[in-house]
Structure 1
Amino acid sequence: MILNVHLIRKADDYALQRCEVAEVVEISHEDFNELKCNPLKDYSFITENKDKLEYENVSTVPCIMFIDGDGDDGILVDPQGYDYARYSAYISNARQLCRLGQYPSLDDYNRDMQSLVEHYVSEVLSEQKDGQAILSLSAVGDYYQSEYQGFLDHELFQNMMMERPEFETIEENCGDLFINVKARYLHNQMRELTQQEVDVMCAKHVLWLNDAGGERANFQNCYLNNLNIFGKDLSNSYCEGARFENCDMHSADFSNAEMESVRFNNCYMQDIFADRTNFIQADFIGCDISNSVVCDSILTSATMQNCDVDNTEITNCQLDSFKYPATDMNKAACVTGQTEEQTNSLNY
């Protein structure tokens, strides 16, 4: 949301006056800019409207709201009988304020819809599973009718939900909304790891891999943001449902790791190695996976969206329902698949 305002440096207070918008006048964009830049000039549109003001209520100042014909902002003017803006204030989003002031019922409806959307955003975030949720529009309509005694505008509700920052995509099918929640709004329900925790976990994992004690790394349902995993050996680790965002994973080894439903968002993943790795329903969004090797792995229902795969080898992988929107697979060194039966015969 953008507001055009005049910020006062180190303001002592805000001396406010009670003003009534007695007249709303739309003027051309040129006239509005002239009034904004030169408020003390005489203007014909002030002359034509100043006599409509009645100064009877000593506690309220009657004013004219001049609205930009090509915009939403306005300038509130009390000319005090003069032809210039003797007293004035710049009002951001004046058009909407005047509209709501003219139709109080519209303001009530806006509050009801906002409350409804907030209710279902909270419900989706609390009930989602692996970042996905299904919402019945008929159930939403019944709830709206019982709470607000009206009939729901389903299209408006869907549009408002789509405009929420929490959601990646919303698709309507047969009266249901299929919602994908953005990963960064899931981490409050996940265990968020620090760099120190990751370093300790990886160190213990190396000991475990070498039969020298330690502990197998378990990143299941963890949230990792802006962490350094450069060159880490995550082979044979548990990572199902984890979320990696803005992480440096250059030269990491994911061989034989369980990566089902993992989401990699904007991660630096050059030169990674993944042999016999389970990437079922994994999402790679905006990642640099160039010069990497992914072989004999399962990429069923996985997605590589807007990724850099220059010189990457994806060989002998199960690729059923594998999607790569906005990713140029022609730049990969090679991409070859195998059947589910062949993949299942591998020892994972």
Structure 2
Amino acid sequence: MVQPWEVEHVVELPPGEFRVFKEHLLEDYPFIAEHAQELHTDGHGIAHGMLVLCEGIDDGILVNSEGTSYARYAAYLSGARTLSLMNRYPSLHDFCVGMDNLVEKYVQQAVAGQEDGGFTLPYSNLDAEVERRVYDEDMVNFDRQLFLDMLSERPEFDEVETTQNEIYLTIAPEFVQEQTPGMSM
């Protein structure tokens, strides 16, 4: 069973101190001792812990000391800084989820609707979709450059080209679908 966590404190260490901490979790640390009474599992099974981050790195370590001054229970958490930001700023979380959903929709549409390994997305279609989603409150905001960057980072596309009126997506060879002769999508 996965145990739910609530991060009560975030501590950021310089790289050298973080490395020492990561390699010696069972040693006593003043930054854990300072909050030891708040780091425990409550009667509802929720672990109240600390997130220890390293300056300049996205990953971190979750710590539940159970009242001690060492990392009695610890878990390495990839992308911890980003997760912490998403938790701290719900509006950022909502923006990211909305952008991801929109990108996913157009990736699926491009792969399914490709012709000769390409797909054209008119900005007018994108703008109408964004306007509908913002109106329906499925999206809080939209950033066109971020949208293009996100498409460019997807493995389904070899290239993303833009003009004043459209986005042309070149489908990566492993995602190109053979079309039946005489049929077009």
Q: TM over 0.5: same fold?
A: yes
- Residue by residue, what CA displacement relative to the aligned partner does 1:80-132 show, whole Å, maximum 9, x if unpaired? 33221122222221111111111222222222211111111122223322122
Structure 2 counterpart of 1:46, one-letter code: I
Partner of 1:280: none
Pair 1:88 & 2:74 matched? yes
> SS state of the match for residue 169, structure 1?
strand
Asked if the contact 2:40/2:67 (under 8 Å) is kept, the reply is: no
Partner of 1:164: 154
- Residue by residue, what CA displacement relative to the aligned partner does 1:133-180 show, whole Å, maximum 9, x if unpaired? 221223212202202435431111111111111111111111321221
Corresponding residue to 2:113 among 105, 116, 127: 127
Closer, same or farther in 2 for the Cα pair 1:177/1:22, shift >3 Å?
same
Which has the bigger relative contact order, CA under 8 A and spacing at least 6? 2
- Residue by residue, what CA displacement relative to the aligned partner does 1:226-255 show, whole Å, maximum 9, x if unpaired? xxxxxxxxxxxxxxxxxxxxxxxxxxxxxx
Query: Where does structure 2 lack aligned partners over 5 or more consecutive residues?
Result: none
Pair 1:58 & 2:47 matched? no
Partner of 1:20: 6
> SS state of the match for residue 106, structure 1?
helix
Structure 1 vs Structure 2 CA RMSD = 2.4
Matched residues in 2 for 1:174 and 1:141: separation?
A: 13
Pair 1:179 & 2:169 matched? yes
Query: Where does structure 1 lack aligned partners over 5 or more consecutive residues?
Result: 1-14, 192-219, 222-348
Matched residues in 2 for 1:170 and 1:113: separation?
A: 17
The count of corresponding residues between Structure 1 and Structure 2 is: 177
Matched residues in 2 for 1:55 and 1:151: separation?
A: 38
Structure 2 counterpart of 1:78, one-letter code: N
Corresponding residue to 1:40 among 22, 26, 32: 26
Asked if the contact 1:145/1:152 (under 8 Å) is kept, the reply is: no
TM-score by length of 1: 0.47
Asked if the contact 1:137/1:177 (under 8 Å) is kept, the reply is: yes
Matched residues in 2 for 1:173 and 1:127: separation?
A: 20
Report 1:331-346 matches (<5 A): none
- Residue by residue, what CA displacement relative to the aligned partner does 1:178-224 show, whole Å, maximum 9, x if unpaired? 2211222113x347xxxxxxxxxxxxxxxxxxxxxxxxxxxx89xxx
Closer, same or farther in 2 for the Cα pair 1:100/1:122, shift >3 Å?
same
TM-score by length of 2: 0.83
Closer, same or farther in 2 for the Cα pair 1:18/1:124, shift >3 Å?
closer
Partner of 1:147: 133
Asked if the contact 1:145/1:151 (under 8 Å) is kept, the reply is: no
Matched residues in 2 for 1:97 and 1:159: separation?
A: 21
Report 1:223-302 matches (<5 A): none
Deviation at residue 30 of structure 1 after TM alignment: 1.5
Q: Which has the higher helix share?
A: 2
